[in-house]
Amino acid sequence: MRWCLGPRLTPGRRPGVQGGFTLAEVIVVLAILGITAAVVVPAFTRAIDDDPVTAAARAMEQVLEQARATALTRAVGVRGIIVPETGLDSGAVPIGPGVRLSSATVRPSFWFSRIGVAQGDSLLVLGASGARALVLDRWTGGARVERR
């Protein structure tokens, strides 16, 4: 039986040198992680944005933008009434299953003047994945969807 009183030496290693990673190894690993994150993060973002609540809110947003564009190009006032059960009085906005519209008024409406100034009632799109508020900017007439 052999007894060793000092630190154990492995072949090819100098005494007193501790193991670790080289700078090149760390840079390679960080580059691989960065490339993976660049590929994966947009996919997750699209998956989150493709839920039924966001899709219904974006569809309502597009209708409001089209109404504003019509008011500006034809120089006439445009008014729309939103029916919470179906989306719009003409049924132009598909509301998916498990999604509902909510407002403080029974029949929320919006109106765009011929110069693009807007008036409208507040509108929430509610569902299992959360809520989105449809916000209408009074002075610019722009519509946007915000998470709530």
- Domain co-membership, 93 together with 79: yes
CATH code of residue 83: 3.55.40.10
Same domain for 77 and 137, yes or no, is yes
Give residue 11's pLDDT. Answer: 62
Question: 82 in a domain, yes or no?
Answer: yes
- pLDDT of 30 reads 95
Assess whether 83 and 140 both reside in one domain: yes
Using the CB atoms, write b or e for 102-133: b if 16+ within 10 Å: ebeeeebebbbbeeebbebbebbbbbeeeebe
Which structural domain, as residue segments, surrounds residue 31?
Answer: 21-50
Average pLDDT, the chain: 81
Query: Are 46 and 57 in the same domain?
Result: no
Query: In the chain, how many domains are there?
Result: 2
Tens of pLDDT along 9-55?
556 666 666 678 899 999 999 999 999 988 888 777 666 666 888 88
Residue 74 tokens read as: 């034809």
Burial class from Cβ neighbours inside 10 Å (0-12, 13-18, 19+) for residue 52 reads middle
Q: Are residues 106 and 137 in the same domain?
A: yes
Query: pTM for this structure?
Result: 0.62
Contact 108, 82 (CB under 8 A): yes
Q: pLDDT for 43-100, tens place per residue?
A: 776 666 668 888 888 888 888 888 889 999 999 999 888 877 766 555 566 677 788 8
Rounded mean pLDDT, 108-114: 89
**Cβ count within 10 A of residue 69:** 14
Residue type, 86: T
